[in-house]
Amino acid sequence: MSKLPPVTFVPTPIGNLGDITLRSLEALKECDVIFAEDTRTAKSLLSALDIKKPVESYHKDNEAQASSRILHTVESGKTVCVISEAGTPCISDPGNTLTSVLVRENVKFQALPGATAFVPALMMSGFDISDFHFHGFLPHKPTERLREAESLTVYNTVIAFYESPHRIEDTLKTLLKVFPAPVFCAREITKMFESSYFIHTEADIEQIVKKGEFVVAVNNRKAKAEETPSDCGDTAKKLIKAGYGSKDVVNILKALGYKRNDAYSAVQEIIES
């Protein structure tokens, strides 16, 4: 009889096959069925690991239906492993729907530690990562991307993002507008062509090979007193009291010489107070 709990979330290599853990190997070998974000990638991985198990689909477009199938599989007495295309399930990958269902239904499960791209990338940045904020993907649309990036300036820490190759240029340009330079960028973590860059200006973006998956990190860590000049907030209050909208206040503060981050933070503090 398997020693596994009914469901195990298993991290898989993000590039180098050697990054699979012994516990992950054991779980994949012992389970009865594997639910995978990408069944073709999963079968290729299992073949490389010499593991023969049935593979079913579990991805973002069928999470609710697949979660019900997993519950039914567990009720039939079988054990299940859940894997994403690469890395750790639930981290910008499918899995959160299932974990909430399992908790609600009081079904035992375990989540194994293992490969995830943003942790080694943060270490490579050289930034102080004694604490950090992981955000994942920014929105696709330019206005929404800028708005969401600006909302993150309230985090006085290092912030990590994921991005795809065809959007990396636009995302880096947005982050340069909002956060202090340099922006750190790593691609193809653990793979043959792993590389990293420090982006100081938009011109630096041209050096990036726009292939593979990217992790981007910004260092927004600074003392609160340095973050917002004492009179920035006072000026923002006066402008809002005079009837100006928040967007106009930010633009006026910028015209007065305040940094965009300082202006935005001052306005946000007033709105939220």
What are 154-210's pLDDT values in tens digits? 999 999 999 999 999 999 999 999 999 999 999 999 998 999 999 999 999 999 999
The answer to whether the CB of 149 falls within 8 A of the CB of 47 is no
Residue 225 has a pLDDT of 42
Q: pTM for the complete prediction?
A: 0.76
Q: Report, as an integer, the average pLDDT of 140-163.
A: 96
Beta strands in 21-64 (DSSP E): 33-36, 55-57
What are the contacts of 70-73 at 24+ separation with CB within 8 A? Answer: 70/7, 70/35, 70/98, 71/101, 71/105, 71/107, 73/32, 73/33
Residues 6+ apart with CB under 8 A from 235: 253, 256, 258, 266
The pLDDT of residue 227 is 45
Listed range (1-15, 194-208, 247-261) with the worst mean pLDDT: 247-261
**Which of the residue ranges 56-65, 83-92, 235-244 would you say has the lowest mean pLDDT?**
235-244
What integer pLDDT is reported at residue 230 of this predicted model? 57
pLDDT at 223 over 70: no
